[in-house]
Chain A
Amino acid sequence: MAEVIKVPTMAEYMAQGKKPEVLFWVGCSGSFDDRAKKITKAFVKLLHEAKVDFAVLGTEESCTGDPAKRAGNEFLFQMQAATNIEVLNGYEIKKVVTACPHCFNTLKNEYPVLGGNYEVMHHTTFLKSLLEEGRLKVEGGKFKGKRITFHDPCYLGRANNVYEAPRDLLRKLEVELVEMRKCKSNGLCCGAGGGQMFKEPEPGNKDVNIERTEQAMEVKPEIIAAGCPFCNTMMTDGVKGKNQEDKIEVMDVAEMIANAHDL
Chain B
Amino acid sequence: MQLIAQIAFFIVLVAGIAFFTFNIRRVIRNIKLGRKIDRSDNPGERFAKMAKVAMGQSKMVKKPFAGFLHIIVYLGFIIINIEVLEIIIDGVFGTHRILSFLGAGYNFLIATFEILALLVLVGVIIFWLRRNVTNIYRFIGNELKGWPKNDANYILYFEMVLMILFLTMNGADYQLQLNGADHYAQNAGIAGSFPISQFLLPWFEGFSNATLIIIESTAWWLHIVGILIFLNYLYYSKHLHILLAFPNVYLSKLKPLGEFDNVEAVTNEVKLMMDPDADPYAMPAEGAEDDVPEKFGASDVMDLNQVQLLNAYTCTECGRCTAECPANQTGKKLSPRKIMMDTRDRLEEVGNIINEKGSFEDDGKQLLDNYILREELWACTTCNACVEACPIGIDPLSIILDMRRYLVMEQSAAPSDLANAMTNIENNGAPWPYNQMDRLNWAKEN
Which A residues contact B (CB, under 8 angstroms)? 1-5, 7, 9, 26, 28, 30-33, 37, 40-41, 44, 56, 58-59, 61-63, 65, 67-76, 78-80, 82, 86, 105, 108-110, 113-114, 154-155, 158-161, 185-189, 191-208, 210-212
Q: Are B432 and A32 in contact (CB under 8 A)?
A: yes
Which residues in A have their C-beta under 8 angstroms from that of B387? 158
Q: When A71-B422, A202-B327, A208-B327 are in contact, do A191 and B381 touch as well, CB less than 8 Å?
A: yes
Q: Are B431 and A109 in contact (CB under 8 A)?
A: no
Q: Let me know if B76 is at the binding interface, CB within 8 A.
A: no
Q: When A40-B442, A191-B326 are in contact, do A205 and B331 touch as well, CB less than 8 Å?
A: yes
Smallest Cβ-Cβ distance to B255: which chain A residue: A109
Q: Are A158 and B422 in contact (CB under 8 A)?
A: no
Which residues in A have their C-beta under 8 angstroms from that of B62? 186
Which residues in A have their C-beta under 8 angstroms from that of B220? none
Q: Are B259 and A72 in contact (CB under 8 A)?
A: no
Cβ distance A253 to chain B, nearest Cβ, rounded Å: 19
Smallest Cβ-Cβ distance to B263: which chain A residue: A74
Cβ distance B321 to chain A, nearest Cβ, rounded Å: 12
Q: Let me know if B260 is at the binding interface, CB within 8 A.
A: yes
Pick the contact of B436 from A40, A59, A208 — CB < 8 Å?
Answer: A59
Q: Are B382 and A61 in contact (CB under 8 A)?
A: no
Q: Are B408 and A71 in contact (CB under 8 A)?
A: yes
Provide the bound-state CA to CA distance between A3 and B444, in Å. Answer: 9
Q: Are A158 and B440 in contact (CB under 8 A)?
A: no
Provide the bound-state CA to CA distance between A76 and B384, in Å. Answer: 22
The size class of the interface chain B forms with chain A is 35 or more
Q: Let me know if B214 is at the binding interface, CB within 8 A.
A: no
Q: Are B401 and A28 in contact (CB under 8 A)?
A: no
Which B residues contact A (CB, under 8 angstroms)? 62, 255-260, 262-263, 266-267, 269-271, 273-274, 296-297, 324, 326-327, 329-334, 375, 378-385, 387-389, 401, 403-409, 414-415, 417-418, 420-422, 425-426, 429-432, 434, 436-446
Provide the bound-state CA to CA distance between A208 and B328, in Å. Answer: 10
List 15 other contacts, CB 8 Å, given A56-B443, A155-B258: A7-B440, A30-B442, A62-B429, A70-B382, A70-B404, A72-B414, A73-B422, A82-B274, A86-B274, A105-B258, A109-B255, A154-B381, A193-B382, A198-B420, A204-B379
Q: When A59-B440, A158-B383 are in contact, do A200 and B329 touch as well, CB less than 8 Å?
A: no
Q: Are A69 and B260 in contact (CB under 8 A)?
A: yes
27 contacts between A and B (CB under 8 A): A31-B439, A61-B439, A67-B422, A70-B260, A70-B382, A71-B404, A71-B421, A72-B405, A72-B407, A76-B422, A78-B267, A79-B273, A105-B256, A110-B260, A154-B381, A159-B384, A188-B324, A189-B385, A193-B383, A194-B380, A195-B382, A198-B417, A198-B420, A199-B415, A201-B330, A202-B333, A208-B329
Provide the bound-state CA to CA distance between A208 and B383, in Å. Answer: 12
Pick the contact of A202 from B262, B375, B383 — CB < 8 Å?
Answer: B375
